[in-house]
């Protein structure tokens, strides 16, 4: 048997021993034949790209059918294979995934804004039917970025720009942070080569110091936390270069002035132990003002959970500390794929918990909601900007007077808040109070604030609200009301 196929099968069966790899073997041979006479810009056999995409997907511990579809993902677009043949040979599930990826590939996101909007809509429709379609496409894009040096400079810039505008935010929205960070760094190197080179050189000069710093933090945390008898393991990772660059830009600082470029993690068994470890950290280290975020109590919209805080030791060294459970860590690594795998296992009776499956379905329905809302948009630029907002994760947590937490994007207004609570509240909104004081409806809300929406029976949305609301739901509902009540 082919050594590369053996390796791929091992990657799948090691995580799912009972996986049926019959179709996988067939797809390997089928794709190899379909792309037999095709080569990439590097001179490498084209099929090896398809294999690389399949291998990348095994990192997310996805099912064998998804990996099989990855092997076939370019057969409809780049070979003589037709959709009916694919369906006949591999069944509807795999063929539908391949067709979904093919539809995304046909979209030209480097086009004019008007064309982009139509293409994004086509892409959303392809993804909404099966979330695994975008996972295959993200893996495809990641491998293309890893080999981007073989493309002409203009094409490199187009691919990198498209990645930063679309694919990296999508990876973040789906919670796959490892892919998001790598995509950003690879794109950063293409779009801003001088800035990337300078930052990379500075990072390399600090590599030894960073490694030493991580070891010091490890010994210190293990010594302090070890006395409590709480099970945990320590891990650390440097922040991505693009992330550091964005922070330098945001804070207007030089690289040497960025303190917390190292991320420390304490991974334990239960949420209660996360808070216990946090208590120990607070008793032994000074905290940096404004650095605390509790995403366990208030998970991000992509289901990410962790406690974040920045700590300073007695010598003045600073590091970001994240505290989470093993399950939370798994979700932070694999994102939506971890939830997909949970659903798959629940269907096979490997895990149980109906409420967990319902929660997953609800969270993954965001794409369907965006597709519903996007029909209200007539202006392409507005649609693109709103969709990018839906993918962003600079989010805030605002409370209702009864204590319910509403998650919103940064810069959301009371009107966005009102529609997030309920469409009827938004439609009858006539004012707002934040902290018991009246505020204009275009006020930018802040995390932790309590917002009270004032309503009146005869109140209604106004067209000028569209100039300041930022969420897709608010824009959609306002447009719908205006259309239905147009004189």
Q: Give the closest residue to 74 by CA, choosing from 147, 166, 139.
A: 139
Distance CA 164, CA 376 (A): 26
Say yes or no: 306 and 213 in one domain: yes
Give the SS3 label for residue 117. Answer: helix
pLDDT in tens, 296-313: 988 887 778 999 999 988
Q: Determine, yes or no, domain membership for 359.
A: no
- Residues in Cβ contact with 329 at an 8 Å cutoff, skipping those fewer than 6 apart: 265, 267
Chain-centre distance for alpha carbon 206: 29
- State yes or no: pLDDT of 114 exceeds 60: no
The secondary structure element, H or E, covering residue 484 is: helix 472-484
φ/ψ (deg, to 5) at 232: -160, 160
Q: Is 466 exposed, middle or buried (0-12, 13-18, 19+ CB in 10 A)?
A: middle
Of how many residues is the chain composed? 487
The answer to the question of residue 8 being in a domain is: yes
Average pLDDT over residues 423-448: 94
Residue in 72, 222, 230 with CA at minimum distance from that of residue 136: 72
Instruction: Enumerate the H helices of 106-175 as residue ranges.
Output: 113-129, 132-146, 153-162, 168-173
What's phi and psi for 448, nearest 5 deg?
Answer: 95, -10
Active site amino acids: 77-78
464 in any annotated domain: yes
36-77 pLDDT per residue, tens: 999 999 999 999 999 999 999 998 888 899 999 999 999 988
User: Among candidates 327, 188, 335, 194, which has minimal Cα distance to 269?
Assistant: 327
Instruction: Check whether residue 329 and residue 418 sit in a common domain.
Output: no
Give 82-101 pLDDT, tens digit per residue.
Answer: 889 999 999 999 999 998 88
**By mean pLDDT, which of 2-11, 179-188, 378-387, 427-436 is the weakest?**
378-387
Residue 62 lies in a domain: yes
342 sits in which H/E element: helix 336-347
Tokens of 190: 């293409």
What is the side-by-side strand order in the sheet with 437-439?
Answer: 437-439, 429-434, 451-455
End position of a domain, from candidates 150, 184, 215: 150
Q: Are both 216 and 303 inside the same structural domain?
A: yes
CATH code where residue 13 lies: 1.10.3210.10
Q: Can you give the pLDDT at residue 189?
A: 97
CA 340/CA 361 separation, integer angstroms: 9
For residues 316 and 396, what is the distance between their CA atoms, to the nearest angstrom? 30
Q: Look-up: residue for tokens 């293990």?
A: 222
pLDDT tier for residue 237 given thresholds of 50, 70 and 90 = confident
Residue 13 and residue 138 in one domain: yes
Q: Print the domain residue range for 203.
A: 199-334
At a CB cut-off of 8 Å and minimum separation 6, what does 314 contact?
none
> If you ran DSSP here, which 8-state letter would residue 39 be given?
B
**Mean pLDDT along residues 314-326:** 90
Residue 164 lies in a domain: no
Looking at the domain assignment, is residue 340 inside a domain? no
Please give the radius of gyration of the chain, using alpha carbons only, rounded to the nearest integer: 24
Do 15 and 100 share a domain, yes or no?
yes
Task: Kindly report which listed range (36-50, 133-147, 262-276, 358-372) carries the lowest average pLDDT score.
Answer: 358-372
More confident residue, 175 or 355: 175
What confidence tier does 383 reach under pLDDT thresholds 50, 70, 90?
low
Q: Residue 311 is encoded by which pair of tokens?
A: 């700590």
Separation CA 27–CA 165 (nearest Å): 32
Count of domains in the chain? Answer: 3
Number of Cβ within 10 Å of residue 137's Cβ equals 24
């Amino acid at each position: 048997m082919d050594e590369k196929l053996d390796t791929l099968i091992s990657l799948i069966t090691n995580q799912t021993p009972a996986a049926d790899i019959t179709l996988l073997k067939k797809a390997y041979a089928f794709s190899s034949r379909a792309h037999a006479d095709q080569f990439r810009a590097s001179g490498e056999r084209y099929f090896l790209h398809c294999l690389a995409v399949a291998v990348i997907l095994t990192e997310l511990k996805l099912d064998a059918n998804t990996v099989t579809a990855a092997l076939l993902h370019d057969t409809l677009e780049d070979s003589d294979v037709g959709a009916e043949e694919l369906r006949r040979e591999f069944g509807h599930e795999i063929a539908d995934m391949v067709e979904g990826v093919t539809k995304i590939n046909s979209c030209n996101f480097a086009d004019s804004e008007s064309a982009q909007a139509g293409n994004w809509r086509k892409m959303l429709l392809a993804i909404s039917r099966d979330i695994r379609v975008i996972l295959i496409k993200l893996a495809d894009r990641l491998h293309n970025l890893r080999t981007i040096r073989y493309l002409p400079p203009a094409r490199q810039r187009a691919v990198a720009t498209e990645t930063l505008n679309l694919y990296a935010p999508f990876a973040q929205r789906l919670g796959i942070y490892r892919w998001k960070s790598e995509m950003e760094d690879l794109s950063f190197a293409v779009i801003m080569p001088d800035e990337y080179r300078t930052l990379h050189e500075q990072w390399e000069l600090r590599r030894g110091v960073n490694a030493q710093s991580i070891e010091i933090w490890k010994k210190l945390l293990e010594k302090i936390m070890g006395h409590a008898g709480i099970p945990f393991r320590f891990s650390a990772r440097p922040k991505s270069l693009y992330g550091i660059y964005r922070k330098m830009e945001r804070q207007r600082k030089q690289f040497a002035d960025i303190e917390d470029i190292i991320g420390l993690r304490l991974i334990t068994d239960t949420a209660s132990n996360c808070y216990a470890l946090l208590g120990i950290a607070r008793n032994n280290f000074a905290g940096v003002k404004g650095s605390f975020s509790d995403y366990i109590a208030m998970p991000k919209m992509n289901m990410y959970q962790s406690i974040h805080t920045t700590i300073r030791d007695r010598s003045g060294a600073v590091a970001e500390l994240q505290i989470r459970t093993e399950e939370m860590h798994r979700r932070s690594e694999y994102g939506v794929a971890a939830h997909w795998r949970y659903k798959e296992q629940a269907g096979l009776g490997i895990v149980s918990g109906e409420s967990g499956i319902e929660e997953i379905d609800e969270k993954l329905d965001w794409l369907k909601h965006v597709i519903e809302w996007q029909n209200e948009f007539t202006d392409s630029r507005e649609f693109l900007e709103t969709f990018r907002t839906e993918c962003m994760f600079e989010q805030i947590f605002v409370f209702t007077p009864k204590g319910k937490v509403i998650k919103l994007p940064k810069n959301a207004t009371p009107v966005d808040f009102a529609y997030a609570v309920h469409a009827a509240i938004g439609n009858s909104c006539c004012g707002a109070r934040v902290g018991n004081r009246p505020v204009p409806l275009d006020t930018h809300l802040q995390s932790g604030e309590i917002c009270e929406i004032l309503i009146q029976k005869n109140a209604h949305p106004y067209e000028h609200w569209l100039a300041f609301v930022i969420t897709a739901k608010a824009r959609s509902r306002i447009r719908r009301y205006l259309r239905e009540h147009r004189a």
